[in-house]
């Protein structure tokens, strides 16, 4: 299983949003580029890099992200406000290994299909789940369909992955669990990357043994030093132990 350290940019800074509140970000002292290089030095083979300013139509961090792609020394999965095939093409040309399409996938599924056919296995669809339904526009609006219902339309599309962010668990709702990841991963063939669900190393262990879960996006826990990236990578990559047979 792949661990994707999560780097979210707002105003050129490395941030995380609590409950999706763009107006009150948690700002980290480390610059996005410094964080990227640190994660790579600690063993990351992939980074998940999101431009929050583009999500909320308040500018962009294109140059900062392009510098990460050029200099970090690993695969970079880029997202945030990707709404056209031209934007996909620009990121691929800039060296992004994978481009993430989120809200635009809900509003224009044909765009996803066009992008995936143009760049097979380089497009990921990001689904935000709130209360069991797909949320869009930076968590501000909720649709009527479930993640599994939405993802099913892309069954024959050559996507690299479906990224599922469980908002309930990300914002520490009392009833939250990893159940939404389990449901989605068992209903589609496209590999699933879990986001927003990893709070502890035990969560990494749990996801590792879920069928069709190929990775986990981990952000706040790494920046808050709840655990280290090397520890998470060790769990994610260690061989599964054989199940004991009883006579």
Neighbouring C-beta atoms of residue 33, cutoff 10 Å:
17
Is-catalytic flag, 128? yes
Asked whether residue 244 is assigned to any structural domain, the reply reads no
Three-state DSSP class for residue 31: coil
Asked whether residue 47 is assigned to any structural domain, the reply reads yes
Q: What pLDDT, in 10s, does the model give residues 97-126?
A: 999 999 999 999 999 999 999 999 999 999
CATH number for the domain including 102? 3.20.20.70
Neighbouring C-beta atoms of residue 210, cutoff 10 Å:
16
Catalytic residue among 6, 8, 166, 168: 8
**How far is residue 236's CA from residue 1's CA, in Å, rounded to a whole number?**
5
Which pLDDT score is estimated for 167?
79
Asked whether residue 171 is assigned to any structural domain, the reply reads yes
Asked whether residue 132 is assigned to any structural domain, the reply reads yes
Q: pLDDT band for position 244 (50/70/90)? A: very low
DSSP letter assigned to residue 18: G
Cβ–Cβ under 8 Å, residues 79 and 90: no
Asked whether residue 246 is assigned to any structural domain, the reply reads no
Q: What's the whole-model pTM score?
A: 0.91
Query: Tokens standing for 42?
Result: 């600690």
Query: Tokens standing for 109?
Result: 């599924």
Buried b / exposed e along 134-147 (16+ C-beta atoms within 10 A): bbbebbeebeeebb
- Highest-scoring range by mean pLDDT, 16-25, 151-160, 166-175: 151-160
Per the structure, the count of domains in the chain is 1
Q: pLDDT band for position 238 (50/70/90)? A: confident
Asked whether residue 241 is assigned to any structural domain, the reply reads no
Catalytic residue among 51, 53, 128, 170: 128
DSSP annotation string for 180-228: HHHHHHHH-SS-EEEES--SSHHHHHHHHTSTTEEEEEE-HHHHTTSS-
* Domain, as residue range, for 231: 2-236
Query: Is the pLDDT reported for residue 193 higher than 90?
Result: yes
Q: What pLDDT, in 10s, does the model give residues 85-103?
A: 999 999 999 999 999 999 9
Asked whether residue 65 is assigned to any structural domain, the reply reads yes
């Amino acid at each position: 299983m792949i661990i994707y350290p999560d780097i979210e940019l707002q105003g050129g800074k490395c941030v995380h949003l609590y409950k999706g509140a763009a107006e009150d970000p948690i700002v980290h002292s480390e610059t996005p580029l410094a964080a990227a290089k640190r994660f790579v030095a600690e063993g990351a083979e992939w980074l998940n890099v999101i431009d929050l300013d583009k999500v909320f139509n308040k500018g962009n961090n294109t140059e900062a992200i392009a510098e990460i792609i050029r200099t970090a020394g690993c695969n970079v999965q880029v997202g945030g406000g990707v709404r056209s095939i031209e934007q996909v093409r620009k990121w691929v040309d800039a060296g992004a290994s994978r481009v993430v399409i989120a809200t635009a996938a809900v509003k224009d599924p044909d765009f996803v299909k066009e992008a995936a056919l143009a760049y097979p296995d380089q497009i990921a669809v990001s689904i935000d789940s709130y209360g069991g339904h797909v949320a869009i526009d930076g968590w501000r609006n909720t649709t009527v369909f479930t993640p599994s219902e939405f993802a099913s339309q892309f069954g024959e599309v050559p996507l690299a992955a479906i990224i599922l962010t469980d908002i309930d668990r990300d914002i520490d709702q009392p009833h939250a669990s990893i159940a939404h990841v389990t449901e989605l991963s068992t209903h589609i063939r496209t590999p699933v990357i879990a986001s927003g669900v990893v709070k502890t190393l035990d969560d990494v262990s749990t996801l590792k043994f879920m069928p069709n879960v190929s990775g986990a996006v981990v952000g706040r826990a790494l920046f808050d030093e709840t655990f280290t990236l090397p520890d998470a990578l060790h769990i994610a990559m260690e061989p599964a132990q054989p199940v004991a047979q009883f006579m």
